[in-house]
Structures are given as C-alpha cells and as structure tokens.
Amino acid sequence: MIADPASDILEFTKAQTLVTGGFRASGAWALQFPVPKSIKFFAVVKGRCWAIVDGLPEPVEFGPGDVGLLAAPRAFVLASNLICTPQDAMEVFSGAGKTEVTLGDGSDFEYIGGHVLLDPVSGRFLADVLPPWAHVPADQPDAAVFRWLLGQLRAEHGSSAFGAKLASAQLAQLLFIHVLRTHLGNADALPTGWLRALSDPRLAAALRMMHGEPGKAWGLDELARASSMSRTAFAARFKLLAGTTPLAYLTAWRMRLAERALREEGTSVGLIGQMLGYSSESAFSNAFKREKGVSPQGYRRRPVSREDAS
C-alpha cells in the first residue's frame, strides 16, 4: 500500500468526530455558544444564518451545506440576523433537557454540530497545524459529497435504527476528513506545518516515504530526488512550508511514534529504538532524551502531564 501520512496522523492523534446536537429554528433568533473545549464543527442543513466568531473582523454568512470548523478556543454566535439579541445556547439546550431543540416552529432553519476529540498528548501534532477557523462553502468542488454526508448525518443522528450511533460517528469523521481535504487544496490558508507541506505535491512524495518507513536512514539527496527537486531547493521549500527541515521532521515523527509505544505497549526500549532506525538502545535513548528532555524509561514511568501534550 502507498503510505498515507494524513491517515497515519489521524490514527496517531486518535481523532474522533462526534455529532453532539442540533436545532431547528424559524423567525428571528440568535444563540451564543461558549468557548469550545475541543475542536468544534457545525453545518447548516437548511436555511441561512450568520456566524459571528470572536476574533474575526466581520460576520460570515452560512447557507445550506456550508460547514464551519473552529479549532481555536473562541466563542461564537449563530443568528438569523445581525440585530437579534443572542440567547445563551447552553441555557436553551439544558433548559429543554435535550441535545436538540426547536426555536419557533423550526420550519426555516436546521443545524447540526459536534466536536473533534483528540488524544490529549498526541493530538497536539494535529491541533497545532489546523487553521483557527475554517468556512467550507457548499459551492466548493466536493459540494455533492458534502450534501450527501450532511443528509446522511441528519438521518442517522438520533435515529433508533440498527447501528445509528456508530454510523453517525463514521459519517462525522468522513465530514472532518473532507473539510481537511478542501483546505489542502488552498495551501495559502494553512499555517506553516506538516499539513501545509502535505498540500504540496512534490513535498508530499517525500512525506509518504518517511511515513512509509520511519525507521529507514533517509538521506536528503534521496528525498529530494523523490520530489523531483535539487537538494538545495527541496530543503528550502520543505523548511518554508513545514517550518522545519526534512530530517528534523523525520526525527520528530520518530519521537512521536516512540512516545506512543512507550505509553501504550510493553515493547522494550531497545526494540522500539531498533524499529525506529537507531543502531542501539543507547543511541535511541540519547536521541529521545535530547528531544524530550527525559529518558525513554523515565517517560514510560511518569504520568501524562500538560508538558507531554506540548
């Protein structure tokens, strides 16, 4: 199989997308949502609304099929118009005692929302390269796919049909992946990092090689040839888009894999180092301590902390 760095990282970060609620509305309405504790996504299934997001210079209009992704800790308002006084969304939902509510007769507008949950430690690898805010309009090239996903999500969420909860989660995960794909097509909107590097077809070839065999002693010349670039041009472009050198990226990815193995597996330190391309346990231990400030054994023994999540 061809190596797929994006899938590797989604699996590594344990990205899990969940639909958590929704509402229907009619007439004039506005809801104030609190700062999310995780990555927030929402989609308009029917009708139109304004999204007023803290930190954005102006409101964003959403139409049917539009999806919003909020990766930064920012509060936001959804409203039928810009003059309506917002109600506290959490009070509206908790007061109704349910995850779905209806404002008015619910005939004009329909919304679904949810969260993308990441591993508290490995999840930083993805969270740190996501744009703070993304608006994916329904008229983008994959519009038909988004419409189908939203229709299926709406049908499965809250349904009592066999496997509806799992189907809803899988559809939401696919929606999140399509949002990321759309942004990969607009590299200028992405912050510097591996996600932006992955949007470049030539650099993507080198990333696939490193992810396919992270334990191989990749050389800059070999990676540059795979990218159809000179060594100098490849190194400069990789640093510009990824924010780090190719070999530093490879080392960082190896250390991420080592962290997971040390936390979740009973594999010996020596064998982990061998799988990641180090000639001896001491060579691996020295590299790990240089990158993480603690030995592999020390990392394995200590509880997960905020420092680990950085």
Q: Do 54 and 154 lie in a common domain?
A: yes
What does the DSSP assignment read for 20-49?
A: EEEEEE-SS-EEEEPPPSSEEEEEEEES-E
Question: pLDDT tens digit string along 14-64?
Answer: 889 888 888 999 999 999 999 999 999 999 999 999 999 999 999 999 999
Q: Do 61 and 147 lie in a common domain?
A: yes
Q: Do 237 and 263 lie in a common domain?
A: no
Residue 97: pLDDT above 70?
A: no
Query: Can you give the residue range of the structural domain that contains 224?
Result: 194-244
Q: Do 88 and 158 lie in a common domain?
A: yes
Whole-number Å distance between alpha carbons of 182 and 246 = 25
pTM exceeds 0.85 = no
Q: Supply the pLDDT for residue 96.
A: 59
Q: Supply the pLDDT for residue 179.
A: 84
Q: Do 156 and 202 lie in a common domain?
A: no
For 20, which DSSP code?
A: E
Q: Do 42 and 96 lie in a common domain?
A: yes
Which of 308 and 96 is assigned the larger pLDDT?
96
Q: Do 252 and 240 lie in a common domain?
A: no
For 1, which DSSP code?
A: -
Residue 158: pLDDT above 80?
A: no
Q: Supply the pLDDT for residue 309.
A: 44
Q: Supply the pLDDT for residue 4.
A: 79
Q: Supply the pLDDT for residue 306.
A: 45
pLDDT band for position 187 (cuts 50, 70, 90): low
Q: Do 71 and 55 lie in a common domain?
A: yes
Question: pLDDT tens digit string along 221-257?
Answer: 999 999 999 999 999 999 999 999 999 999 999 999 9
